Amino acid sequence: MNARFEAITLDFGNTLVPFSAGSMADVVRLTAERSAGLVGSTADEFAHVWGEERLRQFAEDVPVGREADMDIRVTRVLARLRGKLMPPTGEHWDDAAVAGYSEPCEVAAILDTYANAFVGSTPVPLGIGPMLERMSGSYPLAILSNWPLALAIDRFVENAGWSRHLSAVVVSQRVGVIKPRPEIFERAAAELGVVSGPGILHVGDDLGADVLGAQGVGWATAWVRYKPEDSPLPAGPPARGAKPDLTIDSILGLEDALEGPGYASGSQLR
């Protein structure tokens, strides 16, 4: 394979693993069905409150580059289901006060339930494992993902058998910020043990979060063009002027694209 890169980082959602609205709804439904009894609510009530708090978090956190941590979401959901009124429109939760409506073990149990539902409901895409195995012989590889529950990705990666091919799994919940913030890219470089810069290729589906974010710290970029049209995953900021170094239809086209004569000579492949 092309030897110009010292390492490659790969986005998770809609790059390595496609997520449609239906697949994510299944995860929330299963979580609600298995967790509602903890607070004496119905699964529908649990899922409804979960959805409202998810949207609230995205509205508050994503614009400032902060991850919508799922542990905070679960704490707020439990508080509401136990009678705590949600803040008026435009006001934020007092999370210190909300924490009094649940025990840490309850929050951990629901996060565990979600992670298990996530793994059980999300098929492992064909071809990704063999691709990672081949590429790991030439490059250190890392997952570099925006995701509100790192535990879910950790378990998916382990269940898929991908762990042995990866040098790092860098997830925004653990870092505290989301792509395109530079801190998460710098963390990935540090965990890979390589100098942050053009020697790292980042591959992702989001022009704003992945392409502009990686280019902002001087990395090379590859854009995965196609993803589910109804995907509920939040998008990055507007990507005006984004020009990925490489454009591929699917992550499974990455190996061939890197080996192609057009890319080796420095031209962009689209």
State the maximum Cα–Cα separation within the chain, in Å, rounded to a whole number: 63
Enumerate the domain spans of the chain.
Answer: 7-19+127-264, 22-120
Q: What is the pLDDT of residue 261?
A: 53
141-145 and 7-10: which strand pairing? parallel
What's the pLDDT tens digit per position in 17-73? 999 999 999 999 999 999 999 999 999 999 999 999 999 999 999 999 999 999 999
What pLDDT sits at residue 260?
67
Distances (CA, A) of 74 to 58, 132, 194, 259: 14, 33, 36, 45
The pLDDT value recorded for residue 141 is: 98
> Which pair of tokens denotes residue 250?
């699917």
7-19+127-264 fold: Rossmann fold (3.40.50)
Q: Is 164 exposed, middle or buried (0-12, 13-18, 19+ CB in 10 A)?
A: exposed
Q: What is the pLDDT of residue 212?
A: 95
Kindly report whether the global pTM for this prediction surpasses the value 0.75: yes
Would you state the structure tokens that stand for residue 86, as one six-digit string?
């949600």
The pLDDT of residue 235: 80
Q: With pLDDT > 90 as the criterion, what percentage of the chain qualifies?
A: 85
d(CA 74, CA 110): 7
| Residue 267 scores a pLDDT above 60 | no
Q: Are 225 and 31 in contact (CB under 8 A)?
A: no
* 32, 176, 55, 115 alpha-carbon torsion, rounded to 10°: -20
Quick: pLDDT tens for 137-185: 999 999 999 999 999 999 999 999 999 999 999 999 999 999 999 999 9
